[in-house]
């Protein structure tokens, strides 16, 4: 069909617009909980550049300490630097699906928040390393060298899922996507609240408080959407969710506990090097939880999620790593992980 073919001279009204069409001309408001969360997001907006950076003097730390703390932020970036495009893709889906107006706004706010979190990672890393990129930085300590190798492997692994995600988004309903998102948000809310309490630097305390509050709102968005959609969830969707939860566990464990070899392709000494760095950072006043605390937090986050899914009769996967029994999921498709954070 030529693009010059005109219709307006042949008919009174235009033909139906083929769907999915990117723009809804409609502002339906049904889910009042979403309105509340959006209002909170507007009130609680913050700017990483305006944190009290003047109070932060990285030169007071040893290079090994600076590199150890920067590594933690790099690890966080593997998740948070992909969050803006991940949620931007989901935001587009809410428009294609003609989701109600507050749902679109909430997703917009998540995208913006995650951009803030990414900025925060960049600001912290740049100050700590005096260089804006942990992969091209010249390490100063022995530990720093090993950490950069760890960072390279993390980066390589994290880069594997984007194409899978782009394939998954159009295939799944928002309800399915949300179960994966919720998992990330529960986990994130937990870790940031804890970090806010256990870091000495004011600038990090404030950042973690803000990020933790953002993640709490993201969690509320997921819960509100599940409350709306899960009562009418099909059995097929439920099965996909069970699988995605197991996949999300494997993926997020790298940040919240230890990277399982089932997904993460890493050198044999990766975990030992990271534990060493955690210890150095902790002693320097950057309160990364101990292995036992990580395990306990992660277990509790999983049990919270299980509590939500139980309510809707969605079978929970077995997560023997943290002592949770459930449905055995053996065939996690690593190409189709919905990355979450
Ligand atoms: Fe985030
Ligand atoms: Fe989030």
Is residue 34 classed exposed, middle or buried when 0-12, 13-18 and 19+ CB atoms within 10 A define those classes?
Answer: buried
As a whole number, mean pLDDT of residues 173-196 equals 83
pLDDT in tens, 71-128: 999 999 998 888 999 899 999 999 999 999 999 999 999 999 999 999 999 999 999 9
Note if the pTM is more than 0.85. yes
Rounded Cα–Cα distance for residues 130 and 290 (Å): 27
- 84-120 in b/e form (b: 16+ CB < 10 A) is bbbbbbbbebbbbebbbbbbbbbbbbbbbbbbbbbbb
CB of 237 within 8 A of CB of 176? yes
Ligand at shortest distance from the CA of 211: 1
State the distance from the centre of ligand 2 to the C-alpha of 140, rounded, in angstroms.
33
CB of 93 within 8 A of CB of 168? no
State the distance from the centre of ligand 2 to the C-alpha of 218, rounded, in angstroms.
5
Q: Which of 164-168, 183-187, 223-227 is predicted most confidently?
A: 223-227
State the distance from the centre of ligand 2 to the C-alpha of 145, rounded, in angstroms.
31
pLDDT in tens, 27-75: 999 989 999 999 999 999 999 999 999 999 999 999 999 999 999 999 9
CB of 326 within 8 A of CB of 317? yes
pLDDT of residue 203: 98
Is the pLDDT at 1 greater than 60? The verdict is: no
CB of 316 within 8 A of CB of 309? yes
Write the CB contacts of 98 (distance below 8 Å, at least 6 apart in sequence). Answer: 20, 24, 26
Q: State the DSSP H helix or E strand holding residue 23, giving kind and residue range, or none if neither.
A: none
DSSP 123-154: HHHHHHHTSS-TTT----SHHHHHHHHHHHHH
pLDDT of residue 132: 97
State the distance from the centre of ligand 1 to the C-alpha of 79, rounded, in angstroms.
8
CB of 258 within 8 A of CB of 249? no
Q: What domains are defined for the chain?
A: 32-43+58-336 (1.20.1260.10)
Rounded Cα–Cα distance for residues 312 and 240 (Å): 14
Ligand at shortest distance from the CA of 192: 1
pLDDT of residue 155: 94
pLDDT in tens, 253-288: 999 999 999 889 999 999 999 999 999 999 999 999
- Cis? peptide before 232, omega within 30° of 0: no
pLDDT of residue 341: 52
State the distance from the centre of ligand 1 to the C-alpha of 75, rounded, in angstroms.
13
Is the pLDDT at 299 greater than 60? The verdict is: yes
């Amino acid at each position: 069909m030529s693009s010059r073919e005109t219709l307006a001279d042949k008919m009174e009204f235009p033909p139906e617009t083929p769907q999915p069409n990117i723009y809804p001309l409609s502002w339906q408001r049904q889910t009042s909980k979403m309105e509340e969360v959006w209002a909170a997001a507007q009130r609680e907006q913050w700017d990483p550049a305006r944190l009290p950076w003047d109070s932060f003097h990285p030169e007071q730390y040893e290079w090994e300490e600076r590199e150890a703390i920067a590594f933690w932020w790099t690890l966080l970036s593997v998740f948070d630097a992909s969050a803006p495009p991940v949620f931007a893709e989901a935001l587009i889906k809410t428009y294609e699906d003609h989701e109600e107006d507050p749902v679109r706004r909430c997703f917009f706010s998540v995208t913006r928040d995650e951009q803030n979190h990414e900025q925060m990672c960049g600001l912290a890393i740049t100050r700590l390393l005096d260089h804006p990129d942990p992969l091209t930085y010249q390490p100063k300590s022995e530990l720093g060298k090993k950490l950069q190798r760890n960072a390279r492997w993390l980066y390589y692994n994290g880069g594997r899922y984007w194409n899978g995600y782009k394939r998954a988004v159009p295939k799944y309903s928002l309800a399915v996507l949300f179960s994966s998102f919720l998992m990330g948000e529960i986990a994130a809310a937990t870790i940031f609240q804890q970090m806010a309490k256990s870091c000495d630097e004011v600038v990090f305390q404030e950042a973690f408080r803000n990020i933790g509050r953002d993640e709490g709102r993201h969690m509320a968005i997921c819960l509100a959407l599940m409350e709306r959609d899960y009562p009418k969830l099909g059995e097929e969707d439920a099965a996909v969710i069970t699988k995605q939860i197991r996949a999300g566990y494997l993926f997020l464990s790298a940040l919240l506990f230890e990277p399982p070899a089932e997904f993460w392709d890493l050198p044999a000494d990766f975990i030992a090097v990271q534990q060493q760095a955690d210890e150095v950072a902790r002693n320097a006043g950057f309160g990364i939880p101990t292995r036992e605390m990580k395990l306990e937090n992660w277990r509790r986050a999983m049990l919270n999620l299980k509590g939500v899914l139980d309510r809707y009769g969605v079978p929970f996967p077995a997560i023997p790593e943290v002592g949770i029994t459930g449905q055995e999921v053996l065939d996690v498709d690593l190409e189709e992980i919905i990355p979450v954070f």
